[in-house]
């Protein structure tokens, strides 16, 4: 059976092109509407697998509708938003309220974007159709204390010498590297809310386009004790700080004397992404070795799995989020299959896993 979708957008032209794009990608579009109030009775007669929803519409905005939808009939939602400051902030609210993913509509050149069959809409809807909405329900705004336990993939963590240089073995500075994608906005909030400024510095890649990561970092910085920043080239990684790779650019960890700093650079797409988790993880394996912790979380595809394997082989402690708590069990599943993860950890246990693991003796 094909995936079914319903399009809600106040522009007739946008609805037309989005419908054509989805249909050309093998997705059956059951209908469309100019706003949520027009859409609601149509949805009742033939409910879709995924709803594609504009952010700003007359009569009822996308956020209000999304909250109503998640309360009454939870359904995977892909948000459409413009590449503006207001659009970015609204999209962050939507993702926090339960939207699975989003695609961005440029303010200029909209026609070209809509006619481009590689604009990411089809992939976003296909991923949303597989989303675990129970995980979204658990994650949305949850601030419950994390459990001290984590599920082990092995009976004990083997002590391996690693292949990092001996100079790295002489420092106890820890680095936490996190890779996350679809479902990540809600998931990482759950984790960071449970960590404080004594936590080692965190470097993170969240698959997200340019302009959105600044709003994402600012939102997290306002609700978490740790300092959360969109990374700039040369930023120092210190305890209590989270550096998020800027959308559209790769981030690598570098050693500068006794300090860790990040390098922000352009480059080709890696695993269809820029920033790429693999790029970050491989740099952490090379410069931090056994002093690092690596964590791969919810997301579609396999970006980060090979990098996590390199971290594991360099002596780092590694973990993957478990299937039950993932919105999309893609990236973690590949990492687990490759043997890249020492531990498989439920979302509510990730913060405890980090706190517990940083206290372990160096490998």
Q: Assess if residue 115 is contained within a domain.
A: yes
Range in 3-7, 33-37, 202-206, 296-300 with the lowest mean pLDDT: 33-37
- 324 vs 87 pLDDT, higher one: 324
| Judgement on whether residues 173 and 252 belong to the same structural domain of the protein | yes
**Spatial separation of the C-alpha atoms in residues 130 and 128, rounded to whole Å:** 5
How is residue 3 written in tokens?
């995936």
Question: Is residue 143 in some structural domain?
Answer: no
Decide if 78 is inside a domain.
Answer: yes
pLDDT, residue 142, reads 37
92 burial level (CB within 10 Å; 0-12, 13-18, 19+):
buried
Answer yes or no: is 238 within a domain.
yes
CATH code assigned at 187: 3.40.50.180
Q: Is 126 found in the same domain as 176?
A: no
* pLDDT level of residue 207 (50, 70, 90 thresholds): very high
Residue 86: the pLDDT is 67
**Pair (126, 175) in one structural domain:** no
In the DSSP assignment, the letter for residue 162 is -
Is there a single domain that holds both residue 122 and residue 271? no
What pLDDT is attached to residue 83?
Answer: 61
The reply to whether 289 falls in a domain is yes
Domain shared by 51 and 179, yes or no: no
Of the candidates 94, 187, 190, the one whose C-alpha atom is nearest the C-alpha of residue 142 is 190
Does residue 172 carry a pLDDT above 70?
Answer: no
User: Hey, which residues are catalytic here?
Assistant: 181, 207, 303
Instruction: Give the residue carrying structure tokens 């083997």.
Output: 158
Q: Is 1 exposed, middle or buried (0-12, 13-18, 19+ CB in 10 A)?
A: exposed
Task: Decide: helix, strand or coil at residue 127.
Answer: helix
Q: Are residues 110 and 173 in the same domain?
A: no
Same domain, 222 and 321: yes
pLDDT in tens, 246-276: 999 999 999 998 899 999 999 999 999 999 9
Range 273-302 average pLDDT: 97
**Could you tell me if 121 and 227 lie in one domain?**
no
User: Domains in the chain: how many in total?
Assistant: 2
pTM: 0.85
- Please give the pLDDT value at position 362: 44
327-362 pLDDT, tens digit per residue, is: 999 999 999 999 999 999 999 999 999 999 998 744
Q: Which of 125-129, 141-145, 282-286 has the least mean pLDDT? A: 141-145
Structure tokens at 278: 């693999």
Cα angle value 219/220/224 (rounded, 5°): 130
Last residue of a domain, one of 100, 131, 162: 131
121 is in which domain, residue-wise?
4-131
Average pLDDT over residues 164-193: 80
Residue 345: closest CA among 312, 318, 363? 318
| Residue tagged 């336990």 (tokens) | 149
19 assigned to some structural domain = yes
Q: What's residue 8's pLDDT?
A: 94
Amino acid 53: pLDDT: 92
d(CA 350, CA 132): 18
Residue 64 pLDDT > 90, yes or no? no
- pLDDT, greater one: 232 or 96: 232
Does residue 129 have a pLDDT over 80?
Answer: yes
Q: What is the model's pLDDT at position 85?
A: 61
**Of 53-62, 162-171, 305-314, highest mean pLDDT:** 305-314
Q: Which pLDDT belongs to residue 107?
A: 65
pLDDT, residue 259, reads 93
Average pLDDT, the chain: 86
- Please report whether residue 12 resides in a domain: yes
Q: b/e per residue, 318-357, with b = 16+ CB within 10 A? A: bbbbbbebbbbbbbbbbbbeeebbbbbbbbbbbbbbbbeb
Radius of gyration for the chain, computed over Cα atoms and rounded to the nearest angstrom: 20
| Structure-token pair, residue 204 | 């993170």
Q: What's residue 89's pLDDT?
A: 80
Q: Determine the pLDDT at residue 354.
A: 96
Same domain for 231 and 291, yes or no, is: yes
Domain boundary among 81, 100, 131: 131
Co-location of 165 and 87 in the same domain:
no
**Position 140 in a domain:** no
Q: Which residue has the tokens 């996308």?
A: 62
Q: How big is the chain, counted in residues?
A: 363
Question: pLDDT category, 213, cuts 50, 70, 90?
Answer: very high
Q: In the block, which residue shows the tokens 């962050």?
A: 92
169 plus 287 within the same structural domain:
yes
pLDDT band at 57 (very low <50, low <70, confident <90, very high): confident
Q: What is the pLDDT of residue 151?
A: 44
CATH number of the domain enclosing 100: 3.40.50.2300
Arithmetic mean of pLDDT, 148-173: 43
The answer to whether residues 273 and 305 touch, using CB atoms and an 8 Å cutoff, is: no
Write out pLDDT tens, residues 13-53. Answer: 889 989 999 999 999 999 999 999 999 999 999 999 999 99
Spatial neighbors of 12 by CB under 8 A, at least 6 apart, are 34
- Answer yes or no: are the C-beta atoms of 105 and 14 closer than 8 Å: yes
Strand duo 201-206 + 101-105: pairing: unpaired
Residues 126, 164, single domain; the answer is: no
Q: Is the peptide bond before 275 cis (omega within 30 degrees of 0)?
A: yes
pLDDT at 245: 98
The last residue of one of the domains, among 131, 160, 195, is 131
Distance CA 289, CA 173 (A): 11
């Amino acid at each position: 059976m094909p995936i079914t979708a319903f399009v809600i957008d106040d522009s007739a032209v946008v609805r037309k092109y989005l419908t054509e794009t989805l249909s050309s990608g093998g997705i059956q579009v059951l209908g469309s509407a100019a706003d949520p109030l027009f859409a609601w009775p149509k949805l009742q007669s033939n409910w879709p697998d995924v709803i594609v929803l504009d952010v700003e519409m007359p009569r009822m905005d996308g956020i209000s509708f999304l909250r109503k939808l998640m309360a009454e009939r939870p359904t995977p939602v892909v948000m459409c938003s413009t590449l503006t400051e207001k659009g970015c902030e609204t999209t962050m609210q939507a993702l926090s309220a339960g939207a699975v993913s989003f695609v961005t509509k440029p303010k200029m050149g909209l026609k070209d974007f809509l006619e481009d069959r590689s604009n990411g809409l089809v992939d976003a809807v296909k991923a949303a159709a597989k989303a675990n909405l129970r995980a979204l329900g658990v994650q949305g705004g949850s601030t419950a204390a994390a459990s001290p336990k984590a599920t082990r993939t092995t009976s004990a963590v083997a002590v391996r010498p690693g292949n990092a240089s001996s100079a790295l073995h002489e420092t106890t500075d820890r680095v936490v590297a996190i890779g996350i994608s679809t479902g990540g906005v809600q998931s990482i909030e759950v984790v960071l809310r449970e960590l404080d400024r004594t936590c080692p510095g965190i470097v993170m890649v969240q698959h997200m386009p340019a302009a959105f990561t600044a709003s994402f970092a600012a939102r997290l910085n306002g609700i978490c004790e740790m300092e959360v920043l969109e990374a700039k080239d040369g930023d120092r990684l210190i305890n209590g700080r989270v550096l998020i790779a800027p959308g559209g650019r790769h981030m690598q960890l570098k050693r500068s004397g006794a300090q860790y700093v990040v390098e922000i650079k352009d480059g080709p797409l890696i695993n269809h992404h820029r920033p790429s988790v693999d790029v970050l993880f491989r740099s952490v394996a090379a410069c931090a070795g056994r002093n690092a912790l690596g964590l791969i979380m919810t997301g579609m595809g396999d970006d980060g799995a090979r990098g996590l394997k390199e971290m594991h082989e360099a002596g780092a402690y590694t973990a993957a989020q478990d299937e039950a708590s993932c919105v999309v069990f893609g990236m973690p599943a590949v990492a687990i299959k490759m043997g890249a993860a020492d531990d498989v950890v439920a979302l509510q246990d990730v913060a405890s896993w980090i706190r517990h693991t940083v206290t372990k003796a160096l490998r």
